Amino acid sequence: MNWITNYVRPRINSIFSRREVPENLWSKCDECGTMLFHRELRDNQNVCTNCGHHMAITPRERFAAMFDGSVFNEIDVPEPIHDPLQFRDQKKYPDRMKAAQKKTGERDAMLVAEGEIGALPIVAAAQDFSFMGGSMGMYVGNAIIAGAERAVATGKPFVLFSAAGGARMQEGILSLMQMPRTTVAVEMVKEAGLPYVVVLTHPTTGGVTASYAMLGDVHISEPNALIGFAGARVIEQTIREKLPEGFQRAEYLLDHGMLDRVTPRTEMREELITILRMLMNQPPAIKGNLPAPEAPEAAPVAEAAVTAPEAEPKP
Amino acid sequence: MHYLEFEKPLAEIEGKAEELRAMGVANEEMDVDKEARALDKKASELLRELYTDLTPWRKCLVARHPDRPHCKDYIEALFTEYTPLAGDRNFADDHAVMGGLARFNDEPVVVIGQEKGSDTKSRIERNFGMARPEGYRKAIRLMDLADRFNIPVITLVDTPGAYPGKGAEERGQSEAIARSTEKCLKIGVPLVSVVIGEGGSGGAVAFATANKLAMLEHSVYSVISPEGCASILWKDAEKMREAAEALRLTAQDLKELGVADRIIREPVGGAQRDREAAIEAVGKAIAGMLDPLRKKDRDALIKQRRDKFLKLGARGLAA
């Protein structure tokens, strides 16, 4: 320690830090470190334009990019009872919930909506990893059931984007019971003769993988997504050996026969349209200028609520 | 007898009584009988005391007690003509999962369960009751068999969880569990399940998604082990007592939540102290759950099972 480290370096640092741009305009790619301008990143659905790394995307942003004209109708999810076990660890569960709701602006870790992709009407559900790690509790279970019921009632395919660490421990056994509950939901869609397509995104692990995420008619994953049942650390401790490079990554699962395809996010919409149209026995999608979809019938949801919150206001 | 940590005071008294009796045998002129009987009485009082209101963590310890009757013991005692059927027809036979055809009260059934093993050799062979994908796929195959021939399925749940291994992941552990749960929901025959020890997370769900679920008085069924929960939420695996408390994983709590349909009373001091009595009680409970289901047709059985799970979560627990 001398005066250079104690005095000069902080001064130099403070000069440089002052020149940093506001945080919300630029984000750094977690993988290659490239600084990405927010608009460019949003247009590319949070995929790094330099290295192709897939960063997290909220359900709303995903839906805005996927549905025709960014138009979708949210499907109501029955509210479950709150804090059924009066769970308390270092924090109270309701406090954790409030913090997550404040952070994300969402009620819980899943958003369900209907709309059209390539003029094909679908029901879609997307899990929100930024909401308590996307964890599957009663709300997520209710959301999947609501989505499945809507798909069956309207004869639409059901597309589910998974992203979760696993079950929500704060709901104890009731979170575990979402495994059979969501399996019933998947069954309903399948029995109605409708496609159930799962898009596994980073990360999808634990009880989520061991239920609805692995029961799709078609399994597509985003590149490099972590997908598995047990955590890598637990496995290493159990078998006392290092795990191979790329273990539990999408490409690894593709090699081991657990996935149908690994597809970049930017190509996902087109791919879903292609697959779903074939499964629904529809003619090929008309590429080119699609007419803007009509306003959905029961459309109490305003445009502003429908598009991603960060989206620019429409002129 | 293997004593659990909280049973130490009991071990001391029982040890003393035993010593005293040994002394009595060695010196015939000593009259130890009265004193030994007094100690016995004290021991049984203490045992009763220890086992009323066991804390959730102590219940976990009892549920994992190595001397508790395991799947194999129940199958041997409660079933006749047990004919093990092996293999998943894909990769291997998983010894953590026992299963096959058998007769229960003379009627044919398919029985499936996780077996932990009872000594070092068998524990290793059984992989401590932690199934790999092959185990779940064997269960799926056996449930299909039962469904095809209209035979009820009885599952016995006793697992720390699905095996966390490299090969297990590569061969689709999560897919196998998901398919097994799905199969449980799909079969048009009665499916009754008993948690005889540890119901460890997804590995248990794959077997316990039943028309009726019973739990032994001191068994547990949880989304995660208390140790695992403590290390994630408390960042300290030693906080397992708090985690066990918070998770509400006891048979009593699960009954109140509607996850378990009935609780099977255990002998005083747990199933490990009177294995025959525990096994008999489980047999009675299985018969009690199975008989009314036999009268239902396929669609009614499937519907009852689905509705049960769809409705779960309508009520919570008080603090």
Mean pLDDT of A121-137: 96
CA end-to-end span of chain B:
36
Model confidence at A219: pLDDT above 80: yes
Let me know: does B285 contact B262? Beta carbons within 8 Å.
yes
> What are the structural domain ranges in chain B?
15-52, 64-318
Model confidence at A55: pLDDT above 90: yes
Tell me the pLDDT tens digit for each residue of A111-123.
Answer: 999 999 999 999 9
Mean pLDDT of B158-183: 95
Model confidence at A187: pLDDT above 90: yes
Structure tokens at B227: 């140790």
DSSP string, B45-95: HHHHHHHTT--HHHHHHHHT-TTS--HHHHHHHHEEEEEE----SSS---T
What pLDDT was estimated at residue B284? 97
Which residue in A has a C-alpha nearest to residue B309's C-alpha? A181
Structure tokens at A86: 């009066």
Instruction: Give the CA distances from residue A275 to residues A222, A281, A313, B99, in Å, rounded to whole numbers and listed in that order.
Output: 16, 10, 33, 40
Q: Which domains does chain A have, with CATH numbers?
A: 21-55 (no CATH), 56-279 (3.90.226.10)
* Domain formed by B64-318, architecture: Alpha-Beta Complex (3.90)
| Strands A227-228 and A196-205, sheet pairing | parallel
Rounded CA separation A39/B41 (Å): 79
Place of tokens 């003379």: B106
CB atoms within 10 A of CB B25: 10
Mean pLDDT of A33-62: 93
Q: Which of B1, B96, B59 is nearest to B216 (CA)?
A: B59
Structure tokens at A54: 């897939």
What pLDDT was estimated at residue B32? 79
Tell me the pLDDT tens digit for each residue of A89-101.
Answer: 889 999 999 999 9
Partner residue facing B177 (CB), from A145, A210, A239: A210
Mean pLDDT of B279-307: 97
Beta-carbon contacts of B137 under 8 Å, excluding residues fewer than 6 positions away, are B88, B89, B90, B91, B176, B179, B180
Q: Per-residue confidence at B316, pLDDT binned at 50, 70, 90?
A: confident
Model confidence at A4: pLDDT above 70: no
DSSP string, A2-30: -HIIIIIHHHHHHHHHHTPPPTTTEEE-T
The pTM assigned to this predicted structure is: 0.88
Rounded CA separation A228/B177 (Å): 12
Model confidence at A16: pLDDT above 80: no
Partner residue facing A176 (CB), from B184, B201, B246: B201
Structure letter (DSSP) for residue A296: P
Rounded CA separation B33/B41 (Å): 12
Model confidence at A293: pLDDT above 90: no
Q: Which of B179, B205, B307 to mutate to test the interface with A (most CBs of A within 10 A)?
A: B205
Structure letter (DSSP) for residue B1: -
**Residue stretches of the annotated binding site of A:** 29, 32, 48, 51
Degrees to nearest 5, angle at CA B137 with B179 and A216: 25
What pLDDT was estimated at residue B24? 81
**Nearest-CA distance A64 → chain B (Å):** 31
What pLDDT was estimated at residue B187? 97
Tell me the pLDDT tens digit for each residue of B215-265.
Answer: 999 999 999 999 999 999 998 889 999 999 999 999 999 999 999 999 999
B250 burial level (CB within 10 Å; 0-12, 13-18, 19+):
buried
Tell me the pLDDT tens digit for each residue of A237-288.
Answer: 888 888 988 999 999 999 999 999 999 999 999 999 999 999 999 999 877 6
pLDDT over 90, % of chain B: 86
Partner residue facing A177 (CB), from B247, B259, B315: B259
Place of tokens 């049942």: A229
**Nearest-CA distance B134 → chain A (Å):** 15
Beta-carbon contacts of A81 under 8 Å, excluding residues fewer than 6 positions away, are A138, B313, B314, B315, B316
Mean pLDDT of B198-212: 96
Structure letter (DSSP) for residue A258: S
Residue A233 Cα to chain centre, angstroms: 24
Tell me the pLDDT tens digit for each residue of B71-130.
Answer: 999 999 999 999 999 999 999 999 999 999 999 999 999 999 999 999 999 999 999 999
CB atoms within 10 A of CB B237: 15
pLDDT over 70, % of chain A: 85
Contact A181 B233 (CB under 8 A): no
Mean pLDDT of B197-219: 96
Counting Cα atoms < 13 Å in the Cβ hemisphere of A246 gives 9
> How many pairs of residues across A and B have Cβ atoms under 8 Å apart?
177
Rounded CA separation A1/A18 (Å): 25
Which residue in B has a C-alpha nearest to residue A253's C-alpha? B170
Q: Which residue has the higher pLDDT, B218 or A232?
A: B218
Positive or negative, the Cα torsion across A96, A98, A99, A103? positive
* Type of residue found at B149: F
B318 touches chain A (CB under 8 A): yes
CB atoms within 10 A of CB B112: 29
pLDDT over 90, % of chain A: 73
Contact A173 B259 (CB under 8 A): yes
Length in residues, chain B: 319
Mean pLDDT of B209-219: 97
Q: Which residues 133-162 of B are in CB contact (within 8 Å) with A?
A: 162
| Average predicted confidence (pLDDT) for chain B | 94
Model confidence at A302: pLDDT above 60: no
Tell me the pLDDT tens digit for each residue of B262-288.
Answer: 999 999 999 999 999 999 999 999 999
